[in-house]
Amino acid sequence: MRKIMISAAAAFLFMSATPVLAENNPQPKTKDVQLTSQQKQELSVLYKEMLAKKKEILSKYVEYGVLSKTESQNISSHMENRYQHMEQNGFVPKRHCHKMHHSK
């Protein structure tokens, strides 16, 4: 049961940061999008707010016994690394070149 709760908590935290793309909403063909400094700053602020809120959620999971302190730190570290990666890429998410097929 604990393993399921940990998996669910981790999935929630990781998946909530992933943009959801509808099949009926095709992405633009261009891959060379450049954001302005102001746009990057706005996104940076939003990502930092989101990161802080997710860390707050992790703390609650530790408090409630769903995650250990170590598990929480590992997830937090992964989220920090993801933020650094986004910052290095100018806050433009990388598009996957393959289509995801979902079973219905």
Burial of 27 (0-12, 13-18, 19+ CB in 10 A): exposed
Tens digits of residue pLDDT in 8-26: 566 656 555 555 555 555 5
In whole angstroms, what is the distance from residue 41 CA to residue 35 CA?
A: 10
Q: What is the pLDDT of residue 50?
A: 97
Q: What is the pLDDT of residues 46-104, one digit of tens each?
A: 999 999 999 999 999 999 999 999 999 999 999 999 999 999 999 998 876 666 666 65
Using 50, 70 and 90 to split pLDDT, how confident is the model at 32?
confident
Residue 67's contacts (CB-CB under 8 Å, 6 or more residues apart) are 6, 9, 58, 61, 75
Determine if the pTM surpasses 0.85. Answer: no
Q: Where exactly are the structural domains of the chain? A: 37-88
Sign of CA dihedral 62, 67, 71, 76: negative
